[in-house]
């Protein structure tokens, strides 16, 4: 009874297609999902031959036959078939032998349809074309190598940034793996591309970045290592990013999102310099420099077992840390002017200066989004500023002003140069300060705070909303 239940409810409804062949290459079992993917209309397909299901398969190409011959499983390979109803189906397969007394009696094939593979396929095709262009081209090689940044784009004069620049100059020609840590928006991508472009040898070869968080791990594996010619039909073999970035750099962004098994496979490639495409028995030597990045502190990753220790030590051959912007305030002014210049050109503006007041605000702000946030603030300020050549408080967007007003420190700073501001600015700042004080005084009770301020409760609420004031009792 349970067997039937398992068969009808579980086996026929799971995502995986299951098909089993005997030594005569005839089907002994296929679940409903399998029939659906393969376009099989007949109810009863027991005894039907492999060759009448996969019409264009030859004995040499069949993974099923390979597993019968070798007795070894083939785990996790990509396959592309045209099913019996003429539909192209992209599959991710694993094929296992079922043995009795050491002899393979059956072969079971498990597979899952991969959605979204076409997008990835197109991306790989573009990468392949780009790589060919890089090889052919003698001019503007850097522009064609897959990068947009060089060290000139990595702005900063703080001690930590100067040290980083010195360090990347000295490691750019080495082949060792690199691990880069930095909070979001600190410039990891800029730094990694700069390393590639500083290398005399690698800068003439491709730079390829892959975000490990962007793909399911099975797909990521085939993207990284490539896949062999399909087992059933005329599926085309594809090189992985390791091969495509040969002699260049492969940037594995957010390495901590890669699952532990795949990390083990990555480690093997790093140790041996050899890749084997999924489903292939052949190996290929690659000379691909791997640079990985994480925006979670490496010790936290190790502590929470998000990264294998052995992989960590391999990647960590060279460790680079980009400090958050709040810890290198010396860089803020230079970065701000760099981006003013950039957006002046882009939007055809001629802004020359940032007012002292705004610069003070910038210096005292915490920049949780780091350089990316500063860049965005400058972009919107350049956009807002018309007719004048200076960025002043009026040039700042409402959303950024709200963030500033929420920061108590900034309000203190603003209070110091009372006479430089317009009456309305001073009034707004004073109002926020007063509202915060009264909310604290009344232990976060809005009705009581409204009473203290002599305002209707509703008016106080609209002011809280306007200035985005936090109103829990812990407010400082």
Ligand X SMILES: Nc1ncnc2c1ncn2[C@@H]1O[C@H](COP(=O)(O)OP(=O)(O)OP(=O)(O)O)[C@@H](O)[C@H]1O
Strands 390-391 and 318-322: unpaired
298 counts as binding ligand X under rule CB under 6 A: no
Contact 224, 214 (CB under 8 A): no
382 counts as binding ligand X under rule CB under 6 A: no
Strands 103-113 and 17-22: antiparallel
Instruction: Pick from 178, 371, 405, 469 the residue near ligand X by CB under 6 A.
Output: 371
189 counts as binding Mg ion under rule CB under 5 A: yes
Instruction: Pick from 92, 154, 207, 242 the residue near ligand X by CB under 6 A.
Output: 154
CB of 81 to ligand X, least distance (A): 37
153 counts as binding ligand X under rule CB under 6 A: yes
DSSP 362-408: HHHS--TTHHHHHHHHHHHHHHH--S-SEE-GGGS-HHHHHHHHH-H
Contact 222, 78 (CB under 8 A): yes
Contact 432, 417 (CB under 8 A): no
CB of 204 to ligand X, least distance (A): 23
Instruction: Pick from 189, 221, 228, 243 the residue near ligand X by CB under 6 A.
Output: 189
CA 307 from chain center: how many Å? Answer: 16
94 counts as binding ligand X under rule CB under 6 A: no
Contact 368, 317 (CB under 8 A): no
Q: Which is nearer to ligand X, 332 or 428 (CB)?
A: 332
User: For residues 93-122, which are near Mg ion according to CB under 5 A?
Assistant: none
Of the ranges 6-14, 64-72, 307-315, 369-377, which one interacts with ligand X (CB under 6 A)? 369-377
185 counts as binding ligand X under rule CB under 6 A: yes
295 counts as binding ligand X under rule CB under 6 A: yes
Question: Which does residue 230 touch among ligand X, Mg ion, none (CB within 5 to 8 A, set by kind)?
Answer: none
Q: Give the helix/strand (H/E) hosting 437.
A: helix 423-441
- Per-residue binding letters, 303-342, with ligand X (x by CB under 6 A): --------------------------------x-------
Pairwise CA distance, residues 429 & 346, whole Å: 34
Rounded-to-10 torsion of CA 200, 206, 211, 212: -90
Contact 52, 254 (CB under 8 A): no
Q: Which is nearer to ligand X, 188 or 265 (CB)?
A: 188
243 counts as binding Mg ion under rule CB under 5 A: no
Of the ranges 20-28, 178-186, 357-365, 391-399, which one interacts with ligand X (CB under 6 A)? 178-186
Of the ranges 19-27, 79-87, 114-122, 187-195, which one interacts with ligand X (CB under 6 A)? 187-195
156 counts as binding ligand X under rule CB under 6 A: yes
Contact 224, 232 (CB under 8 A): no
User: For residues 190-209, which are near ligand X according to CB under 6 A?
Assistant: 190
Contact 269, 242 (CB under 8 A): yes
CB of 371 to ligand X, least distance (A): 3
Q: In what order do the strands lie in the sheet with 103-113?
A: 27-30, 17-22, 103-113, 88-100, 74-82
Considering just the CA atoms, what is the radius of gyration of the chain in Å? Answer: 30
186 counts as binding ligand X under rule CB under 6 A: yes
Please report, as ranges, the residues that interact with ligand X according to CB under 6 A. 153-156, 182, 184-190, 295, 335, 371-372, 375
Binding residues vs Mg ion (CB under 5 A) = 188-189
């Amino acid at each position: 009874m349970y067997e039937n239940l398992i068969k009808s409810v579980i086996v026929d409804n799971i995502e995986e297609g299951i098909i089993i062949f005997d030594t005569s290459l005839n089907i002994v079992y296929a679940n409903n999902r399998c029939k659906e993917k393969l376009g099989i209309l007949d109810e009863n397909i027991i005894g039907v031959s492999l060759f009448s299901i996969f019409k264009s398969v030859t004995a040499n190409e069949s993974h099923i036959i390979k597993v019968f011959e070798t007795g070894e499983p083939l785990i996790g390979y990509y396959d592309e078939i045209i099913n019996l109803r003429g539909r192209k189906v992209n599959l991710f397969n694993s094929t296992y032998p079922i043995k009795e007394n050491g002899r393979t009696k059956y072969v079971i094939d498990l597979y899952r349809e991969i959605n979204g593979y076409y997008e990835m396929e197109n991306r790989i095709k573009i990468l392949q074309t780009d790589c060919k262009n890089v090889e052919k081209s003698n001019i503007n090689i850097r522009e064609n190598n897959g990068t947009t940044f060089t060290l000139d784009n990595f702005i900063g004069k703080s001690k930590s940034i100067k040290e980083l620049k010195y360090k990347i100059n000295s490691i750019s020609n080495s082949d060792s793996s690199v691990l880069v840590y930095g909070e979001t928006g600190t410039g990891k991508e800029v730094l990694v591309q700069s390393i590639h472009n500083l290398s005399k040898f690698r800068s003439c070869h491709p730079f390829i970045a892959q975000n490990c968080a962007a793909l399911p791990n099975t797909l990521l594996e085939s993207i990284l290592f490539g896949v062999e010619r399909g087992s059933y039909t005329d599926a085309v073999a594809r090189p992985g990013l390791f091969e495509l970035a040969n002699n260049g750099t492969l940037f594995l962004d957010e390495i901590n999102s890669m699952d532990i098994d795949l990390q083990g496979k990555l480690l093997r490639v790093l140790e041996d310099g050899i890749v084997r495409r999924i489903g292939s028995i052949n190996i290929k030597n690659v000379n691909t420099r791997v640079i990985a990045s994480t925006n979670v502190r490496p010790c936290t990753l190790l502590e929470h077992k998000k990264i294998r220790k052995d992989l960590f030590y391999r990647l960590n051959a060279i460790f680079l840390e980009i400090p958050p912007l709040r810890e290198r305030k010396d860089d803020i002014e230079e970065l701000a002017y760099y981006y003013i210049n950039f957006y002046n050109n882009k939007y055809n503006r001629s802004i020359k200066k940032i007012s002292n007041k705004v610069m003070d605000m910038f210096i005292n702000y915490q920049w949780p989004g780091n350089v990316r946030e500063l860049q965005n603030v400058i972009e919107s300020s350049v956009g807002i500023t018309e007719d004048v050549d200076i960025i002043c408080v009026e040039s700042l967007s409402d959303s950024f002003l709200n963030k500033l007003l929420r920061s108590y420190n900034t309000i203190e700073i603003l209070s110091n140069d009372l006479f430089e501001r317009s009456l309305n600015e001073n009034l707004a700042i004073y109002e926020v300060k007063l509202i915060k004080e009264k909310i604290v005084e009344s232990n976060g009770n809005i009705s009581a705070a409204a009473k203290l301020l002599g305002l209707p409760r509703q008016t106080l609420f609209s002011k809280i909303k306007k200035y985005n004031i936090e109103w829990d009792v812990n407010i400082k």
